[in-house]
């Protein structure tokens, strides 16, 4: 299939990079968003989100005349839907005594509806938003059928999940393998023709529901495996073992690859996507459900560890280092560190937080320090919550000279025990009770 003009609906973290990349590869792109503010910003050549390389790409696309933004779609050869699929705020599902979160599909529904007046025979529609299995076939296809055209017969319909890492989006969009699931083989082929415009990685064609499952399976696989690592950290704590040592030994086995325990699972992918499976089939997903529960409860285990390190939390001053949801990103949304700060404060601790990637973050109920020195100066304990490179490089004796604290709690195995002990700190690591409970030493 040949594509001269496409509409990309939803100009967020995925839609905007996708739209500008198509434009850079010679396709005439209309970007569509419900927010007039976003449209005005883009048409001026500015952008509303932070992603390395994106601003230049958008500026070039606008200047070349290949990219425009508007609040309504127009006729085009292809339509790409890249809108958010968050959780419903106030509604939950229930099955056999368990409560689970429900996807809010309203943005997908209204994006599909917005295409109706413009859909023509021979067009291609692609859904990119992460969605519960069968969304393309059972939700999007019936909406588009209101045109009188039938998906797979009169127009092509496909699902193609984004699988890019924030911070690397512009490169990964082009280089990563791309899955295209068609409602028919011809739809998959049409989708493949479209993305071949810029994708250099392998393009894999399959059916739409397989493609939907692939996306959810990738992130669920990771969530379940982090959950077992987190459960191992609690077992190690109980039995007087250092979980990090145990994992590194277990991982010498050629068929074992245990992930890292930590303060919990954050971000808007891994902690979200497994719920789409639970919602779709709660009777089939006890493992996925319980893994989510284990990871969501990990902040409580961190608080128990801090409590043990300090004796009690009431009135204690704690420097919380790192609020991002993972190392070396400035993204604080859904971060377990945020919850940990609140739990510590609920128990009477006074917490000052330092986040080098967002020192001025405005987080409800959290007191941010303008500098690392300010956060640690009067602290009774240092609490390492994210493995930022900057934290790994800190010099223990220099830090010892700047803080009253002589206790530190490391939840991510970011610091070298001995170096910090030599600088005068009592070191507590998450899932490491080895030196606290006497085990026979070799
Ligand atoms: N984490 C652990 N232990 C680990 C690995 C991660 O506790 O061993 C935690 C991190 O600290 C973080 C969370 O899990 O809080 C998620 O981090 P991540 O780097 O594993 O994943 P995301 O959410 O940034 O990005 C994922 C990626 N998916 C996979 O790696 C399978 C990415 O490729 C996807 O594009 C993205 O989800 C998405 O959009 O779905």
Residue nearest to atom 36 of ligand 1 (CA): 269
Centre of ligand 1 from the C-alpha of residue 298, in Å: 16
Identify the domain boundary among 175, 208, 241: 208
Confirm or reject: Cβ of 274 under 6 Å from ligand 1: no
DSSP state of 250: H
> Quick one: 265 and 143 in the same domain?
no
In a domain, 213, yes or no: no
The question of whether 101 is a catalytic residue gets the answer: no
CA 396 to the chain's CA centroid? 32
- Considering the domain architecture, whether residues 60 and 165 belong to the same structural domain is answered as yes
Query: Which ligand 1 atom sits nearest the alpha carbon of residue 387?
Result: 11
Determine the Cα–Cα distance for residues 324 and 328; give it in Å rounded to an integer: 8
What span, in angstroms and rounded, lies between the C-alpha atoms of 73 and 112? Answer: 11
Per-residue confidence (pLDDT) for residue 167, from 0 to 100: 84
Ligand 1 mutation target, pool 215, 269, 324, 413, most atoms within 8 A of CB: 269
pLDDT for res 439: 59
**263 and 201 in one domain?**
no
CA–centroid distance, 294 to ligand 1, in Å, is 16
Q: Which residues contact 44 (CB under 8 A, 6 or more apart)?
A: none
407 & 303 share domain: yes
Same domain for 48 and 130:
yes
Query: How far does residue 327's CA lie from ligand 1's centre (Å)?
Result: 11
Can you give the pLDDT at residue 234? 98
Same domain, 182 and 262: no
- CA 327 to chain CA mean position, Å: 12
Nearest CA to ligand 1 atom 7: 262
Which residue has a Cα nearest atom 4 of ligand 1?
260
Ligand 1 center to 270 CA (angstroms): 6
* Residue 214 included in any domain: no
CA atoms within 13 A on the CB side of 359: 8
Q: Are residues 204 and 262 in the same domain?
A: no
Give the Cα separation of 351 and 382 in Å (integer): 10
**Is residue 134 domain-shared with residue 30, that is, in the same domain?**
yes
**For residues 328 and 388, is the Cβ–Cβ distance under 8 A?**
yes
Determine the distance separating the centroid of ligand 1 and the alpha carbon of 414, expressed in angstroms.
Answer: 18
CA of 381 to the centre of ligand 1 (A): 28
CB 347 within 8 A of CB 313: yes
Ligand 1 binding pocket includes 299 (Cβ within 6 Å): no
Query: Which of 15, 170, 215, 219 to mutate for ligand 1's pocket (most ligand atoms within 8 Å of CB)?
Result: 219
- Our count of domains for the chain comes to 2
State which of 182, 208, 234 marks the end of a domain.
Answer: 208
Q: Is there an atom of ligand 1 within 6 Å of 260 CB?
A: yes
Report whether residue 270 contacts ligand 1, using a CB cutoff of 6 Å.
yes
Residue 221 lies in a domain: no
Catalytic option among 7, 269, 326, 434: 269
Q: What is the mean pLDDT of residues 71-75?
A: 98
As a three-state string, the secondary structure of the chain is CCCCEEEEECCCCCHHHHHHHHHHCCCEEEEECCCHHHHHHHHCCCCCCCCCCHHHHHHHHHHHCCEEEECCCCCCCEEEECCCCCEEEEEEEEECCEEEEEECCHHHHHHHHHHHHHCCCCCEEEECCCCCCCHHHHHHHHHHHHHCCCECCCEEEEECCCCCCCCCHHHHHHHCCEEEEECCHHHHHHHHHHHCCCCCCCEEEEEHHHHHHHHHHHHHHHHHHHHHHHHHHHHHHHHCCEHHHHHHHHCCCCCCCCCCCCCCCCCCCCCCHHHHHHHHCHHHCHHHHHHHHHHHHHHHHHHHHHHHHHCCCCCCEEEEECCCCCCCCCCCCCCHHHHHHHHHHHCCCEEEEECCCCCCCCCCCCCECCCHHHHHCCCCEEEECCCCHHHHCCCHHHHHHHCCCCEEEECCCCCCHHHHHHCCCEEEECCECCCCCCCCCC
Per-residue model confidence (pLDDT) at position 331: 87
43 and 178 in a common domain:
yes
The gap from C-alpha 435 to its chain's centroid, in whole angstroms, comes to: 35
Strands 156-159 and 426-429: unpaired
Q: Ligand 1, atom 34: nearest CA belongs to which residue?
A: 163
Quote the pLDDT of residue 177: 97
CA distance 385 to 395: 17
Q: How many CA atoms lie within 13 A of 398 on its CB side?
A: 6
Quick check: 441 pLDDT over 90?
Answer: no
pLDDT confidence of 120, banded at 50, 70, 90? very high
Residue 34 lies in a domain: yes
What pLDDT, on a 0 to 100 scale, did the predictor assign at position 50?
82
Same domain, 193 and 137: yes
380 domain residue, yes or no? yes
Question: Which of 17, 18, 225, 265 best tests ligand 1's pocket when mutated (most atoms within 8 Å of CB)?
Answer: 265
Asked if the structure places residue 218 within a domain, the reply is: no
Q: State both tokens at 422.
A: 């030599």
Report the candidate in 271, 158, 259, 274 with the shortest Cα–Cα distance to residue 216: 274
Q: Name the more confident of 437 and 8.
A: 8
CATH of the domain at 178: 3.40.50.720
412 lines ligand 1 (CB under 6 A): no
Q: In the annotation, is 269 catalytic?
A: yes
Same domain, 201 and 292: no
Going by alpha carbons, the residue nearest to atom 21 of ligand 1 is 270
Q: Give per-residue pLDDT as tens, 51-67.
A: 899 999 999 999 999 99
Q: Choose the catalytic residue: 101, 205, 215, 326.
A: 215
The pLDDT assigned to 11 comes to 97
Ligand 1 pocket, residue 244 CB under 6 Å: no
pLDDT of residue 442: 58
pLDDT single digits (tens) 328-351:
888 898 899 999 999 999 999 999
The pLDDT, as a whole number, for residue 268 is 86
User: Is the pLDDT at 438 greater than 70, yes or no?
Assistant: no
Residues 380-408: tens digit of each pLDDT: 999 999 999 999 999 999 999 999 999 99
Over residues 308-323, the pLDDT tens digits come to: 999 999 999 999 999 9
Whether residue 147 has its Cβ less than 6 Å from ligand 1: no
Residues 190 and 47 occupy one common structural domain: yes
The per-residue pLDDT for range 235-287, each reduced to its tens digit, is 999 999 999 999 999 999 999 999 999 999 999 899 999 999 999 999 999 99
Does residue 107 lie within any of the structural domains? Answer: yes
Separation in Å, CA 375 to CA 53, 313, 333, 408? 33, 17, 21, 14
Structural domain harbouring 304: 253-429
Domain boundary among 208, 242, 271: 208
């Amino acid at each position: 299939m040949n594509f001269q003009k496409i509409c990309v609906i939803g100009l967020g973290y995925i839609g905007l990079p996708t739209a500008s990349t198509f434009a850079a590869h010679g396709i005439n792109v209309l970007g569509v968003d419900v927010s007039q503010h976003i449209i005005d910003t883009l048409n001026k050549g500015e952008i509303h989100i932070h992603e390395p390389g994106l601003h230049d790409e958008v500026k070039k696309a606008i200047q070349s005349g290949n990219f425009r933004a508007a609040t309504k779609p127009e006729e085009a050869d292809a339509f790409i839907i890249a809108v958010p699929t968050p959780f419903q705020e106030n509604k939950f599902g229930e099955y056999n005594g368990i409560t689970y979160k429900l996807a809010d599909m309203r943005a997908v529904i209204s994006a599909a509806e917005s295409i109706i007046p413009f859909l023509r025979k021979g067009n291609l529609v692609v859904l990119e938003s992460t969605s519960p299995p069968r969304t393309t076939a059972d939700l999007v296809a019936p909406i588009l059928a209101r045109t009188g055209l039938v998906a797979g017969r009169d127009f092509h319909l496909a699902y193609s999940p984004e699988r890019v890492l924030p911070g690397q989006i512009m490169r990964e969009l082009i280089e990563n393998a791309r899955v295209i699931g068609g409602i028919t083989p011809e739809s998959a082929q049409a989708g493949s023709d479209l993305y071949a415009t810029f994708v250099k990685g392998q393009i894999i064609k399959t059916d739409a529901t397989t493609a939907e499952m692939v996306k959810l399976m990738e992130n669920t696989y990771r969530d379940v495996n982090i959950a077992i690592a987190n459960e191992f950290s609690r077992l190690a704590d109980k039995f007087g073992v250092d979980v990090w040592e145990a994992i590194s030994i277990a991982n010498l086995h050629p068929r074992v690859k245990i992930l890292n325990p930590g303060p919990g699972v954050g971000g808007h992918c891994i902690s979200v996507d497994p719920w789409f499976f639970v919602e779709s089939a709660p009777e089939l997903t006890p493992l996925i459900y319980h893994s989510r529960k284990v990871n969501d409860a990990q902040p409580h285990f961190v608080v128990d560890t801090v409590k043990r390190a300090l004796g009690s939390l009431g009135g204690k001053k704690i420097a919380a280092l790192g609020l991002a949801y993972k190392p070396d990103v400035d993204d604080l949304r859904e971060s377990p560190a945020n919850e940990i700060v609140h739990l510590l404060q609920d128990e009477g601790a006074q917490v000052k937080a330092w986040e080098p990637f967002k020192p001025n973050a405005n987080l409800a109920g959290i007191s941010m320090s303008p500098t690392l020195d300010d956060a640690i100066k009067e602290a009774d304990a240092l609490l390492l919550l994210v493995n930022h490179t900057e934290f790994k490089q800190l010099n223990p004796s220099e830090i010892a000279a700047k803080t009253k604290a002589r206790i530190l709690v490391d939840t991510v195995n970011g610091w070298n025990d001995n170096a910090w002990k030599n600088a005068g700190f009592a070191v507590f690591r998450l899932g490491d009770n080895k030196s606290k409970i006497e085990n026979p030493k070799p």
